[in-house]
Structure 1
Amino acid sequence: MKIIRPMVYSLFAAMIGTGFFFLHTGQVDSSTGAQRNGATAYIEATQVSASFKVGGRVTELLVKEGDTVKQGQPIARLQSNEIEAKVAQAKAAVGLAQGKIAEATGAEAGALAKKQQGAAAVQLTAETAEQQVAQAQAAVQAAEAKVQALKNGARPEEKKQAEAQLNAAKEVYDVAEQSLKRMNTLLAEGLIAKADADKAKVSFEEAKAKYELAQQQAALVNQGPRPEEIQGAEAMLKQARASLRLAEAGREQVRIRQGDVAAAEAAARQARGAIQSAESGKLQAEASQLEAETYLSYTELLAPADGIIVAQNAQLGELVGSGFPIYTVEASGSRWAKFYLPETELTGLKSGDNVSLKLAATGAAVQGKVQLIAPAADFAVKKATHAAGDTDIRSFGVKIELTEVPENTATGMTVQWAGRAEEGVRP
């Protein structure tokens, strides 16, 4: 026992001395920035929440945790029956507005056609009325001449007059015949009413009868007038005068047709107003359709970025609100780690410098590049030292973009600082 006890004491003393030796060695290395265990940080990556813009009941979940997704890929859907009905309603309103536009356009075309047709009829009626007045005036003159000739008796001059009346009746007949042919042509083309053609026919028949009568009167001039002939001539004069009044009254048809033209023009303006109103209604309906379709698109959730689904926060049939994160996506691309280094290790370090790191779990090398050095100290991790002659040492955040990472390295794993790349990994 006396021999064992000193041996135990010696062993304890050796162990304590060794501990002090290693502790002292670590302190010295730490003071130079070359300690064996460097600063540590965690591998981080961007995580994006995938949320609906509108609330509703979840009807489809198209991906699950661990699935890889592409940006814009559908990953979930909400119940959309009500919004689909609004879309259908908006489309029906657009179709109705288009129908109104077509209807108003047809009405405008019809009114313009009536206006054009009416303008042509006004011109034709005016010309016809003037011709009929001229014809009637000629007939009156012929009748008056005949009556006067009969009363004066048959004389050489009367023979000349009878011959003149015959010529006048022939002229009236020719005019009436030409007018009848023209009116029949216009009637066939649909430019005048049948009543106008009938009037021309009546005028022609009258002119024909007068011409035949003039022929008979010229033949009987030499025989002298009989009382009944004078009475007949006077009756014809009355009839010619009546025809003149009728022809003069026909001038009123011009004003009537001008009124039809004005009415057609007003109808065309009304149709144009209806077109503008229908087009405004169509624009409003299209805006409502676009709004409804936009809300319908909100019921389909698209992946916000390329990456991996790391969390699913909703279940089928669940009622979720606008902005509720249905999935969490870890975005593909660069990863980083943020170290908090004492100011003593920042000398010469700048953005863009290549640095070496290593995985704490496996020791595998990781390469990175300094992306950002915080311009101000991080007081939350400041380390104060109060040993004799020492000063406070502040820490600064250094963000490292990881450029080369071993395969199957999970986000969240610990990496250790190993210094700038040109310095190599420190022992």
Structure 2
Amino acid sequence: MKAIKFLGKVFVVAALIALIVLGVTTLQKFATEPRDAYLQGQMEARRVLVAGKVPGRVERLFFREGDMVEKNAIVAIIGSPEIEAKKMQAQGALGAARAQASKAKNGARSEDITALKAMADRAQDAANLAKSTYDRVQKLYNEGVLPLQKRDEAETQMKASQSAADAAKAQYDQALAGARSEDKAAANALVLQAKGANAEVDAYLEETKIRAPIAGEVSVKLVEEGEVVGSGMPVVAVTDLEDSWAVFHLREDMLKNVSKGKVFMMYIPALAAHIDMEVSYIASVGDYATWRSSKESGGFDLKSFEVRMRPTKKIENLRPGMSVLFPVDQIQ
């Protein structure tokens, strides 16, 4: 019985010793075995804040977060009664300017021209009669029948009648010729000015329809229907998932093997996939300094540079914000 208990104790002690040896061996292996080192970056994508030029109240929003939107699609409509009123004013001014230009182009009405012609003919008949009367008076004066006073009166009447006939003829000719070229040019200029004002209001009305400048996914909705927005205030944010890149910050001592156009293999933990990425941008100026000891007695600051890399091909389900791991052994 005592021998069995003794053997049991020996077995337990041996098991504990074996476990301790196994644990120490495992820790030693883990501590001495080389491990992969990574630089961690993050995916980013082009994002556009979609805004309008005119202030007003949001009448309708056509998209929500997560919806896909095409380029130039209407994402929201802004209501602006002030612009509608200006549109009516501009249309009225354009109509008035066109009427003025038409009046200058067409000249006097046919009825007015007929009346002026009748007046000119009547004045010319009176002038002809006065001329005949003067001729007769002159003949009688030459024969000594009438005094000089009567001849002068007949001559004055003849000249006055002819002047009246000339004036009536000039009014008729003016009505027949229409407005002056300067008046026509001024009327046409007013039409152009009114058209410009009308086109400006139409442009503002078009701006009440806020359109997406790019195709992508609506990532943020910044306003709700019924809210008042100011000029340039964004209503939604659209993210172009097709235009994405990874951002890293590398110390300057790691840049010796990194250059634009060079391709590296990255690991995306969220997709559990390795993908090739090409260096597309290296910052021309370092952002900040990271201190690293270069010798035992001192050290110096190492600047960090932003580096952007783009996938060499389209990657499904790759989204902004995902972590990207850059194996350090590729740049050592």
1:6 shift after superposition: 5.8
Is 2:321 aligned against 1:412?
Answer: yes
Kept in 1, the 8 Å contact 2:286–2:305? The answer is yes
Kept in 2, the 8 Å contact 1:366–1:405? The answer is no
Equivalent residue, structure 1, for 2:228: 319
1:93 shift after superposition: 1.5
| CA distance 1:121–1:419, change in 2 (3 Å) | farther
Equivalent residue, structure 1, for 2:5: none
1:271 shift after superposition: 5.1
Residue 338 of structure 1 aligns to a residue in which SS? strand
Per-residue CA shift, 1:185-206, capped at 9, x if unaligned?
xxxxxxxxxxxxxxxxxxxxxx
> What amino acid is the match of 1:289?
N
Kept in 2, the 8 Å contact 1:104–1:274? The answer is yes
Equivalent residue, structure 2, for 1:76: 76
1:292 shift after superposition: 2.2
CA distance in 2, matches of 1:419, 1:90: 67
Equivalent residue, structure 2, for 1:256: 164
Q: Whose Rg is larger?
A: 1
| CA distance 1:14–1:397, change in 2 (3 Å) | farther
CA distance in 2, matches of 1:394, 1:243: 117
| CA distance 1:78–1:394, change in 2 (3 Å) | closer
Kept in 2, the 8 Å contact 1:356–1:419? The answer is no
Moved over 6 A (4+): 120-127, 241-245, 264-270
Equivalent residue, structure 1, for 2:6: none
Per-residue CA shift, 1:97-118, capped at 9, x if unaligned?
21122234444688x979x969
1:290 shift after superposition: 2.8
Using the size of structure 2 for normalisation, the TM-score is 0.75
- Alignment size in residue pairs: 318
| CA distance 1:262–1:124, change in 2 (3 Å) | closer
1:357-396 correspondence runs (5 A):
357-379=266-288, 382=290, 384-385=292-293, 388=296, 395-396=304-305
| CA distance 1:350–1:403, change in 2 (3 Å) | same
Residue 404 of structure 1 aligns to a residue in which SS? coil
1:329 shift after superposition: 0.1
CA distance in 2, matches of 1:19, 1:82: 77
Is 2:12 aligned against 1:4?
Answer: yes
Equivalent residue, structure 1, for 2:62: 62
Residue 256 of structure 2 aligns to a residue in which SS? coil
Equivalent residue, structure 2, for 1:174: none
Kept in 1, the 8 Å contact 2:72–2:214? The answer is yes
CA distance in 2, matches of 1:79, 1:375: 46
Residue segments in structure 2 that go unaligned for 5+ positions in a row: 1-8
| CA distance 1:104–1:339, change in 2 (3 Å) | same
Structure with the bigger percentage of helix = 1
Kept in 2, the 8 Å contact 1:334–1:402? The answer is no
1:27-426 correspondence runs (5 A):
36-107=36-107, 128=128, 132=132, 136=136, 140=140, 246=154, 249-260=157-168, 272=180, 275=184, 278-379=187-288, 382=290, 384-385=292-293, 388=296, 395-418=304-327
Per-residue CA shift, 1:258-300, capped at 9, x if unaligned?
3335666888999547656544543443333233222222211
Residue 252 of structure 1 aligns to a residue in which SS? helix
Equivalent residue, structure 2, for 1:19: 27
Residue 60 of structure 2 aligns to a residue in which SS? strand
Residue segments in structure 1 that go unaligned for 5+ positions in a row: 27-34, 145-233
1:317 shift after superposition: 1.6
Kept in 2, the 8 Å contact 1:307–1:329? The answer is yes
CA distance in 1, matches of 2:56, 2:314: 41
Kept in 1, the 8 Å contact 2:50–2:211? The answer is yes
Structure with the bigger percentage of strand = 2
> What amino acid is the match of 2:284?
P
Kept in 2, the 8 Å contact 1:109–1:268? The answer is no
> What amino acid is the match of 1:56?
G
1:52 shift after superposition: 2.2
RMSD: 4.5
CA distance in 2, matches of 1:390, 1:3: 56
1:91 shift after superposition: 0.4
1:94 shift after superposition: 0.8
Kept in 2, the 8 Å contact 1:354–1:370? The answer is yes
Kept in 2, the 8 Å contact 1:377–1:395? The answer is yes
Equivalent residue, structure 2, for 1:171: none
| CA distance 1:314–1:376, change in 2 (3 Å) | closer
Residue 416 of structure 1 aligns to a residue in which SS? strand
